[in-house]
Amino acid sequence: MSKIAYVNGRYLPHAEATVHVEDRGYQFSDGVYEVCEVARGSLIDMTRHLNRLDRSLRELRIAWPMHRSALEIVLREVVRMNGVRDGLVYLQVTRGVARRDHVFPASTTRPAMVVTAKRIDPETVARRAASGVKVITVPENRWERVDIKSVGLLPNVLAKQQAKEAGAQEAWFVDPEGKVTEGGSTNAWIVDEAGKLVTRPADFGILRGITRTTVLDVAAKLGLTVEERPFSVEEAKRAREAFITSATSIVMPVVAIDGHPVANGHPGSVALSLREAFFDIAEKTKA
Ligand code: PDD
């Protein structure tokens, strides 16, 4: 079955799914995106993802490309048309197509929207969670507005490539105070020496991950103590557990930081129980 993408009002085979050379996303990274997980035929936490999209669009003063309810239909349609039962759906909105000029184009310029979906084998992800992943640390070099889910991801691309070349799966950005901000495409967590779940507050310096928000709900349900505070690389290396969260990895145990094993070098039980309970609590919308 050929893959189908939604591009500015049309459902097209991938070979024909193209955007204009003067799309401002292509020329200026002038756009935002969302990645929503699909599990067992349902979109996970779609409401929260679209609430964050609304915030990102507002912060950049880009209009919604269509009514929210119509956009929900497009997301579900692309998932269905691609036969995705487990995987993800990607949505990108840019300020649209206009002759290249840094300042905003005329207010009549229509935002451009692209939606794609892809399958991910849940068994592969489950195997990765059973063995855990390695992370490296890199200096924080991104702009201050990483709370906006913009398509400007060059530092993230470079950091994740560096991780891959070092035999790791994620890079943690570290601020000038030695505190972890977040991963290249994930939020960072530890279970500290006292057994508390620790993750950086989301009001500054990180993206407010949807998975992070739902994991906070899961932690409350499981009666776990959570502290939203920054933690250092040194503290993470001494921690009982470490893990990362995102729509693509849900809760993924971290077993090594810069080559240093976390605890006994195996996935921790708190991370695995959060992973296990996640889908009972997350919102599910049938595709
Ligand atoms: N990334 N931090 C960054 C920098 C991210 O890019 C992401 C998500 C997260 C986690 O957010 P969420 O839980 O809403 O997925 C944190 C997506 C998956 C990506 O870029 O592919």
Say whether both 133 and 242 belong to one domain.
Answer: yes
Residue that finishes a domain, picked among 83, 101, 120: 120
Say whether both 81 and 159 belong to one domain.
Answer: no
Say whether both 58 and 197 belong to one domain.
Answer: no
Spatial distance between the Cα atoms of 153 and 258, rounded to a whole number of angstroms: 22
pTM: 0.97
Among residues 134, 147, 220, the alpha carbon closest in space to that of 182 is found at 147
pLDDT in tens, 117-136: 999 999 999 999 999 999 99
CATH number of 237's domain = 3.20.10.10
Q: Whose CA is nearest to atom 1 of ligand 1?
A: 185
Task: Give distance in angstroms: CA of 193 to centre of ligand 1.
Answer: 27
Say whether both 146 and 183 belong to one domain.
Answer: yes
**Which parts of the chain register pLDDT below 50?**
none
Ligand 1 atom at minimal distance to the Cα of residue 182: 2
Among residues 124, 137, 251, 150, the alpha carbon closest in space to that of 191 is found at 251
Among residues 116, 128, 137, the alpha carbon closest in space to that of 236 is found at 137
144 in Cβ contact with 179 (< 8 Å): no
Say whether both 148 and 240 belong to one domain.
Answer: yes
**Domain of 251, in residue numbers:** 125-286
Say whether both 141 and 278 belong to one domain.
Answer: yes
Mutate-to-test residue for ligand 1 from 187, 275, 283, highest number of ligand atoms within 8 A of CB: 187
Q: How many domains would you assign to the chain? A: 2
pLDDT in tens, 255-286: 999 999 999 999 999 999 999 999 999 999 99
Among residues 227, 216, 242, 206, the alpha carbon closest in space to that of 48 is found at 216
In this prediction, residue 204 carries a pLDDT of 79
- The SS3 of residue 40 is coil
In this prediction, residue 72 carries a pLDDT of 98
Task: Give distance in angstroms: CA of 15 to centre of ligand 1.
Answer: 27
Task: Give distance in angstroms: CA of 254 to centre of ligand 1.
Answer: 16
Say whether both 144 and 271 belong to one domain.
Answer: yes
In this prediction, residue 213 carries a pLDDT of 98
In this prediction, residue 2 carries a pLDDT of 75
Ligand 1 atom at minimal distance to the Cα of residue 33: 20
Catalytic residue among 149, 160, 164, 237: 149
Residue that finishes a domain, picked among 120, 150, 173: 120
Task: Give distance in angstroms: CA of 99 to centre of ligand 1.
Answer: 31
Say whether both 25 and 88 belong to one domain.
Answer: yes
Spatial distance between the Cα atoms of 222 and 225, rounded to a whole number of angstroms: 9
CATH number of 51's domain = 3.30.470.10
CA dihedral 155, 158, 161, 163 (to 10 degrees): -60
Pocket of ligand 1, beta carbon within 6 A = 35, 156, 182, 185-187, 207, 209-212, 245-248
In this prediction, residue 24 carries a pLDDT of 98
In this prediction, residue 97 carries a pLDDT of 98
Residue that finishes a domain, picked among 73, 88, 120: 120
